[in-house]
Every structure is written in structure tokens, then in C-alpha cells.
């Protein structure tokens, strides 16, 4: 069966564009070929900085032929009383390209309509592919598109060539000012080309044998990894591989060539973090360490060419990196002459957020919050945590962080150790910005966890007070990330922390003279609602049922650890055979209480008088509730949520019998309220687990 290949040649694209473009191109072709009724086999894509391409194997030579029923206007307006077609009927036939005699009447269930059986598909793939290619190339997404020359077409970078082959035939089309053909171009220096390809196989052979290009990113990564390991082993070390940097480097080159550079050992006095940041962020190079994890005076960089004079190129890289490291060493030595109190005084002149004051004011609040958290969660280190809060932001005014802003927090921890501070303080400062994202680790230390939560809660409280609440995709102060960070820290460290209290303390730490946009009460309500949304996204993202998560959130989430246990238990319960019937039973009770209690303005306290009961079913329910309540309370205290759900199995038949045999809304108000309080007792007990009103089955 035919093979199709499309290659879009461009000017060099940023590394961050490359992997997503390959994935998008493959996905679009799968979708469009299906819509076009062209059957196909394997589809794979690849990309380098200068090309995006897709290869489709076993592509059908023709579209599938399918027959569909096409309906037209109603018979009453398409055919006259004399049986001849009206203008509407003739117009329908003309629009479908058939004679009116080919049309028949069909009953659609809504009346009689004109209809015909019409075959679709059957076109040659060569006639269908041009439109597909133009549409897909135009739809490829970029963070920003650009114009070039005098054309109106936009793309991530200027188009330079398009190769489109279906076996040995060119798929003809034009995009912008570029017309498709059978020519491809190789590496700018090692095999520029152009190379004319007779068919897809010849195209891949040209790239493989003549162009100097490794088209598959996995092959480029493997080449870098293999050569890097060999070079490091030769000097008794190993490469400090970093996946994100490998992704970037592999998409910066078409012909990867790893070389090992040398740095002066005097720069090894710098912290590991500073050395690696200089290599990785600025030079896109990897560090080299010994078997004990100590950095060696080498670095690995990746070229996009095999140079004729490798030593000359190596010296160039070494010279550039040396300048970076010389700056870093100057900053390091300058910072070591300072002390934290000097830095702390400078924070008063650094703005946190204009209406919220300075970083110095934020540090004052962090002192209070860290002390409060430590009293409950780390009592033996309360003084150290107060100190951690006081000095948390000091490294922001250091020379090193001014130059390497990605090292904020980390440098604070390093300088704290150099100054001889308590390890609790140093670790807290070092880890305060973790987690930096959904896949980033949380602080490993308890002190880091507490400072991180205090910092994030302070930012959330301040921004919400100014009504800077994220809307849509806009979140300039990373408030969603801050909320998720607090959630993850609490859960992964197993902290017993009242979320509402933490947020109240964060609000209360602010000075009284700040001009808030909304009231403290409204801020707190909005914050709690914001956390509820984050928790819902967090758990549904892990695969838990949306309804289960919403129901458990409805029962309260001040204690995130308890919420986690309830969600797990209810999720497991939802998979059992009797779940739906149980939910309907208890949901009915919850609905009655909501309508006849809260909405009707009736105060129900769950206290009932057994002597007022008249029916056996209500006496039976009251008795089983009295038996179950102590067990339920005991299970709740021990957080045995599965056992709590087990009590529902015991309660359910009595509740069903109650609804079958007892008139709750009877005319006797005292009897009615007694029965409502019986149900309130049941609902109040269930409310410790989940809001059954939120469960739809």
C-alpha cells in the first residue's frame, strides 16, 4: 500500500517549539485522514530545529466508499398537489447533483421528507491529500507566529521548503509562497543539499546517508548520552544528566556532537548549585561529578557540527564559561562578607506588592506565621522557625541571586550554613519555594514545609484581599500553584493542620492600615472556595470520580488528611454493587432535611423523642441509629472511614422501611418535627463522611 511523507522545512526554531510540533502534526494527520475516509497504518512524526515531518505507512490509495441517507425538504412543500416537484424539490435535486427521479420519500418520524441515497468517498488519495496538508500546516500552533516577505501567511518561522510524496508522486499544493516538491535539505554544513527524493524511502536514505541529520529526537538523545558517558568515564567521572536540559539540547541540534570542556579547579569553591546553574542555564552544558557526587573541573557541551578543529571550539566554550564563573566567584565572595541582618534591613526597600508593602513587611509576617505553625507542628524548633521566617527573603538582595535569580532560596540556605546557623533554618530557607510545580518535589524537611506553606498562605491572603483572584487562564501571581503547593505539602507530609485556621492566621498577620478591596470575611470565603476548586482538580486529576470528590468536599475539608481518607473510602465504596441504591436512600433523607429544614426555616437539631413515635418503622430506625451512633463516632475518631461506610449497610434497610411506612410530613407538627429530627440525626451522622446531595446516580 502507498507510503506518504510530508516534510516542512523552516528557519531554525526554538527548542521549546520542536517536540510539541511533532506530536501535534501526528495527531492532526490521524484525525484528518479519518475524517477524509482514508485508511492508514502506522503514523509517526519527527522534528529537528529545521524540519517537522510525518510519515504515514499503508495509506489507502482511495477513500472508503460509504452510502448515506440525505434528507431534503418536507414532502408537503417539495411536491405539489398534482404530484409534480415544486421549486423546493427541484432545488434539492439540483443541490445534490441528481435528477429528481432519483429522489424518494422517507418517513423520518417527524413526517415525510424527500431523500436520496448518496455515495461519498471513492476519491484518489492524491486528490484528497493536498487540501489536508494545507489545512494542517495552517493549523499548527505556536506561542507566536510571524510574517515574512510580503505574504499574508504566518508560521512559527519562515518556510523554506516542503517535500510531499505519495510513493513516487508529488502531492501538489502551495502554502504561503512555497510549493511542495520532492527536494529536501540537510545539515547546513555537513550535507546542505538539496537532495531530490524519488520516493519516501529515497527521502529517508538521503537524510540518513547524505544530509548529516539525525531526524529522530530519541536517536539524538542516545548519541549525546552515549558519547557523554564515554568522555566522562575517561576522566574518572560521570555526567550530571538532567532530563529537561537533555530535552532542550537534543532539540537545538540536528547533528549532535558531545565534547568535554575543562574549567579551572579554583572555581570549585563555588557551591554546586551555582556551578551547575552557570553550566546548565547559560551554556546549555552538563556538569561532571565523581562517584561521591563532588563536581569535577569539567563540563559536557553539545555542538551541532563535527568541527575540523575540536580543540579550538573547546577553548571557545571554556572561555565563555570562565567569564560566567568568574562573575559567580566575585558575587560569592562579596556575599560572604555580608550578614543576614544587613540583608534583612535592605528588604524594607524591596517591594513585595505595592499595596501590600515591602519584602521586609512580608518577612515580619512570615516570622509570626512560622512561629504559629511550629508551635503546633514542630514545637522543639519554634525559635528556629521564627528565625527562618525572618531571614526567608534575605537572599533576594544578595549579589548571587541578583545575577542567578533561579537560585533564590537555595542561596539563602547555603549562606545560612556558611554563617553557622541552625540546620533547621538553613534547610527551611533552601526549600522554601518548593514545590515549584505539579511535578516538582515538596520540601523534604519539616522546616522547609512549614516555611513554604507560610509563604504561600501569605501571598494568597494578600492577593485575595486586593481581589487579585485568578480568572480563566490568567494567574500572574501563581496563586493556583501556591494553593496546590500547600495541599501537596500537607498530604505528602501527613500534617494535621486546619486549613481554615492557617488562612485566617495569614490574613490576621497583615498590618491594619492596608487598604483592602474586599472584607476579611469575604476574602476567607473566597479563599476556601478557591482551595475547594484546587482540591477538586487535584483529586479528579488522579482519577477519582468527580461526584465522589464533590460529595466529600461538601462534608468539609479543613483537615486535608481526613479528606484524603474519606475520598479514598467513598471511591472504593462507589465500586460496590449496592452503591447506587444506598446513595438514593440516603440522598432522599438529605433532600427532605434540606427542603423541610434549611429552606423552610425550621431549626432541626437531630434530637428526637422515642415516646412520640407511632410507627414500628420509625421506632426501628431510631433504635438502630442509637446502636450505630457510638460505633460511627468511634470509627470517625479513628479515621476508619471504610468501617463508617459499613454502617450504612446496616442502616439502609431501616431507612428504606421508614420511607415505605412512615408519613414524615404529617399534619401533627410535633410528630412531623420529631420525624424530621430523626432524619436529621441520620443525615448529621452521614455528613461526617460526604454530602450525599452531591452524589448523582
Quick: pLDDT tens for 391-448: 999 999 999 999 999 999 999 999 999 999 999 999 999 999 999 888 899 999 999 9
178: left (phi over 0), alpha (psi -120 to 50) or beta: beta
* Residue 10 neighbours by CB distance under 10 Å: 22
Same domain, 364 and 457: yes
Parent domain of 19 = 4-62+124-209
Q: Alpha-carbon distance 131 to 133, whole Å?
A: 6
Distance CA 527, CA 465 (A): 10
Considering the domain architecture, whether residues 435 and 584 belong to the same structural domain is answered as no
Q: Are 454 and 370 in contact (CB under 8 A)?
A: yes
Higher-scoring residue by pLDDT: 127, 593: 127
C-alpha torsion sign, points 217, 223, 226, 229 = negative
336, 358, 373 — which closes off a domain? 336
102 and 163 in a single domain? The answer is: no
Within-domain flag for 27: yes
Same domain, 89 and 50: no
| H-run or E-run covering 162 | strand 159-166
Regarding whether 419 and 503 lie in a shared domain, the answer is: yes
CA atoms within 13 A on the CB side of 22: 20
Same domain, 107 and 173: no
Non-local CB neighbours of 37 within 8 Å, separated by 6+ positions: 63, 64, 66, 120, 121
State the Cα–Cα distance between residues 316 and 341, nearest whole angstrom.
41
Examine residue 203 and say whether the peptide bond preceding it is cis (omega within 30 degrees of 0). Answer: no
Dihedral-angle region of residue 339 (phi above 0 means left; psi in -120 to 50 means alpha; beta otherwise) = beta
d(CA 240, CA 261): 14
Within this chain, do residues 580 and 485 fall inside the same structural domain, yes or no? no
- Judged by DSSP in three states, 62 sits in strand
Does residue 226 have a pLDDT over 90?
yes
Distance CA 599, CA 459 (A): 37
**Residue 694 clears pLDDT 80, i.e. is over it:** no
pLDDT at 599: 61
Report yes or no on 549 lying in a domain.
Answer: no
Whether residue 135 lies inside any domain: the answer is: yes
pLDDT value of residue 114: 86
**What pLDDT sits at residue 696?**
63
pLDDT of residue 105: 87
CATH number at residue 536: 1.10.3210
Tell me if the bond preceding 435 is cis, omega within 30° of 0.
yes
Residue at which a domain ends, from 192, 209, 226: 209
Report pLDDT for 82.
81
- The answer to whether residue 191 sits within a structural domain is yes
| pLDDT (0 to 100) of residue 288 | 97
Residue 697: pLDDT band by 50, 70, 90 thresholds? low
Q: Are 552 and 693 in contact (CB under 8 A)?
A: no
What confidence tier does 593 reach under pLDDT thresholds 50, 70, 90?
Answer: confident
Domain final position from 193, 209, 225: 209
* Number of domains, the chain: 5
Q: Would 671 be classed as within a structural domain?
A: yes
Q: Is residue 558 part of a domain?
A: no
pLDDT, one tens digit per residue, over 462-488 is: 999 999 999 877 888 899 999 999 999
Q: Where are the beta strands (DSSP E) in 41-101?
A: 43-48, 51-56, 66-74
Separation of alpha carbons 299 and 570, rounded Å: 53
CB burial string 435-455: b at 16+ within 10 A, e below: beeeeeebbebbbbbbbbbbb
- Using CA atoms, how far residue 188 sits from 54, 305, 315, 609, 628, in Å, is 21, 9, 23, 90, 79
DSSP for 449-494, written as a single string? HHHHHHHHHHHHHHHHHTT---BTTB-TT-HHHHHHHHHHHHHHHT
- How far is Cα 358 from Cα 350, in angstroms, rounded to an integer? 5
pLDDT in tens, 618-666: 888 888 888 888 888 898 888 898 888 888 888 888 888 888 888 888 8
Cα separation, 552 vs 686, whole angstroms: 11
- Given a cut of 80, whether residue 564 has pLDDT beyond it is yes
pLDDT at 439: 84
Concatenated DSSP letters for 114-152?
EEEEEEE---BHHHHHHHHHHHHHHH---SS-B--TT-S
Q: Are 325 and 271 in contact (CB under 8 A)?
A: no
User: Would you mind telling me the total number of residues written for the chain in this entry?
Assistant: 697
Condensed to tens digits (0 to 9), the pLDDT of residues 269-324 reads 999 999 999 999 889 999 999 999 999 999 999 999 999 999 999 999 999 999 99
Are residue 92 and residue 178 in the same domain, yes or no?
A: no
28 assigned to some structural domain: yes
More confident residue, 3 or 695: 3
Q: 549: how many CB neighbours lie within 10 A of its CB? A: 24
Supply the pTM of this predicted model.
0.80
365 and 388 within one domain: yes
Q: pLDDT, tens digit, for every residue of 152-174?
A: 888 889 999 999 999 999 999 99
Tell me what the pLDDT averaged over the chain comes to. 91
Residue 524 lies in a domain: yes
On whether both 526 and 492 belong to a single domain, the answer is: yes
Are 519 and 659 found together in one domain? no
d(C-alpha 674, C-alpha 15), whole Å:
71
| Of 677 and 462, more confident | 462
User: Do 512 and 591 lie in a common domain?
Assistant: no
- Residue 595, pLDDT > 80, answer no
The CATH number that applies at residue 610 is 1.10.730.10
Burial zone of 162 (CB within 10 Å; 0-12 exposed, 13-18 middle, 19+ buried)? buried
Amino acid at each position: 500500500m502507498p507510503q506518504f511523507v510530508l516534510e516542512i522545512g523552516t528557519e531554525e526554531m526554538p527548542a521549546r517549539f520542536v517536540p510539541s510540533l511533532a506530536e501535534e502534526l501526528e495527531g492532526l494527520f490521524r484525525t484528518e485522514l479519518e475524517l477524509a475516509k482514508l485508511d492508514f497504518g502506522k503514523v509517526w512524526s519527527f522534528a529537528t530545529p529545521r524540519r517537522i515531518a510525518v510519515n504515514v505507512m499503508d495509506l489507502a490509495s482511495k477513500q472508503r466508499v460509504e452510502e448515506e441517507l440525505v434528507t431534503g425538504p418536507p414532502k408537503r412543500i417539495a411536491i405539489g398537489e398534482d404530484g409534480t416537484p415544486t421549486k423546493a424539490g427541484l432545488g434539492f435535486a439540483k443541490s445534490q447533483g441528481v435528477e429528481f427521479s432519483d429522489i424518494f420519500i422517507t418517513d423520518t418520524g417527524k413526517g415525510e421528507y424527500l431523500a436520496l441515497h448518496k455515495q461519498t468517498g471513492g476519491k484518489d488519495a492524491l486528490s484528497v491529500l493536498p487540501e489536508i496538508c494545507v489545512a494542517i500546516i495552517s493549523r499548527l500552533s505556536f506561542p507566536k507566529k510571524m510574517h515574512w516577505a510580503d505574504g499574508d501567511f504566518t508560521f512559527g518561522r519562515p518556510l523554506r521548503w516542503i517535500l510531499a510524496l505519495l510513493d513516487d508522486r508529488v502531492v501538489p499544493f502551495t502554502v504561503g509562497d512555497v510549493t511542495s516538491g520532492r527536494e529536501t535539505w540537510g545539515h547546513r554544513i555537513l550535507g546542505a543539499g538539496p537532495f531530490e527524493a524519488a520516493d519516501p524511502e529515497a527521502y529517508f536514505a538521503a537524510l540518513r546517508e547524505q544530509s548529516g541529520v539525525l531526524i529522530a529526537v530519541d536517536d539524538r538523545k542516545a548519541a549525546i548520552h552515549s558519547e557523554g558517558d564515554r568522555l566522562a568515564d575517561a576522566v574518572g567521572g560521570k555526567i550530571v544528566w538532567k532530563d529537561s536540559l537533555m530535552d532542550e539540547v537534543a532539540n537545538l541540534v540536528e547533528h549532535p556532537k558531545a565534547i568535554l570542556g575543562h574549567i579551572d579547579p579554583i572555581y570549585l569553591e563555588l557551591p554546586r548549585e551555582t556551578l551547575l546553574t552557570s553550566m546548565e542555564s547559560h551554556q546549555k552544558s552538563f556538569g561532571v561529578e565523581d562517584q561521591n557526587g563532588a563536581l569535577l573541573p569539567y563540563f559536557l557541551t553539545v555542538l551541532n557540527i563535527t568541527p575540523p578543529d575540536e580543540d579550538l571550539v573547546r577553548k571557545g566554550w571554556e572561555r565563555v564559561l570562565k567569564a560566567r564563573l568568574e562573575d559567580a566567584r566575585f558575587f560569592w565572595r562579596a556575599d560572604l562578607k555580608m550578614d543576614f541582618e544587613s540583608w534583612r534591613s535592605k528588604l524594607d526597600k524591596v517591594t513585595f506588592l505595592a499595596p501590600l508593602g515591602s519584602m521586609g513587611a512580608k518577612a515580619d509576617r512570615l516570622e509570626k506565621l512560622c512561629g504559629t505553625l511550629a508551635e503546633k507542628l514542630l514545637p522543639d524548633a519554634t525559635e528556629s522557625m521564627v528565625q527562618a521566617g525572618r531571614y526567608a527573603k534575605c537572599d533576594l538582595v544578595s549579589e548571587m541571586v541578583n545575577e542567578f535569580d533561579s537560585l533564590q532560596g537555595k542561596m539563602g540556605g547555603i549562606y545560612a550554613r556558611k554563617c553557622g546557623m541552625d540546620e533547621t533554618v538553613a534547610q527551611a530557607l533552601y526549600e522554601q519555594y518548593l514545590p515549584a510545580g505539579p511535578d516538582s518535589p515538596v520540601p523534604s524537611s519539616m522546616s522547609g514545609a512549614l516555611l513554604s506553606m507560610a509563604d504561600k498562605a501569605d501571598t494568597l491572603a494578600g492577593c485575595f484581599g486586593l481581589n487579585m483572584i485568578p480568572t480563566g487562564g490568567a494567574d500572574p501571581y501563581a496563586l493556583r500553584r501556591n494553593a496546590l503547593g500547600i495541599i501537596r505539602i500537607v498530604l505528602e507530609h501527613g500534617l494535621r493542620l486546619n486549613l481554615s485556621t492557617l488562612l485566617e492566621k495569614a490574613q490576621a498577620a497583615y498590618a491594619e492600615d492596608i487598604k483592602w478591596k474586599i472584607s476579611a470575611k469575604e476574602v476567607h470565603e473566597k479563599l476556601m472556595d478557591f482551595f475547594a476548586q484546587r482540591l477538586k482538580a487535584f483529586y479528579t486529576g488522579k482519577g477519582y470520580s468527580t461526584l465522589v470528590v464533590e460529595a466529600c468536599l461538601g462534608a468539609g475539608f479543613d483537615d486535608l488528611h481526613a479528606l484524603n481518607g474519606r475520598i479514598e473510602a467513598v471511591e472504593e465504596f462507589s465500586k460496590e454493587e449496592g452503591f447506587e441504591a444506598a446513595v438514593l436512600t440516603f440522598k432522599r433523607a438529605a433532600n427532605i432535611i434540606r427542603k423541610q429544614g434549611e429552606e423552610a426555616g425550621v431549626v432541626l437539631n437531630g434530637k428526637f423523642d422515642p415516646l412520640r413515635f407511632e410507627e414500628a418503622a420509625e421506632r426501628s430506625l431510631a433504635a438502630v441509629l442509637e446502636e450505630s451512633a457510638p460505633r460511627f463516632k468511634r470509627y470517625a475518631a479513628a479515621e476508619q472511614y471504610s468501617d463508617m461506610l459499613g454502617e450504612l449497610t446496616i442502616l439502609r434497610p431501616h431507612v428504606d422501611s421508614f420511607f415505605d411506612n412512615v408519613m414524615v410530613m404529617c399534619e401533627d407538627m410535633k410528630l412531623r418535627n420529631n420525624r424530621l429530627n430523626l432524619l436529621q440525626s441520620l443525615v448529621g451522622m452521614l455528613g461526617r463522611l460526604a454530602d450525599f446531595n452531591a452524589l448523582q446516580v
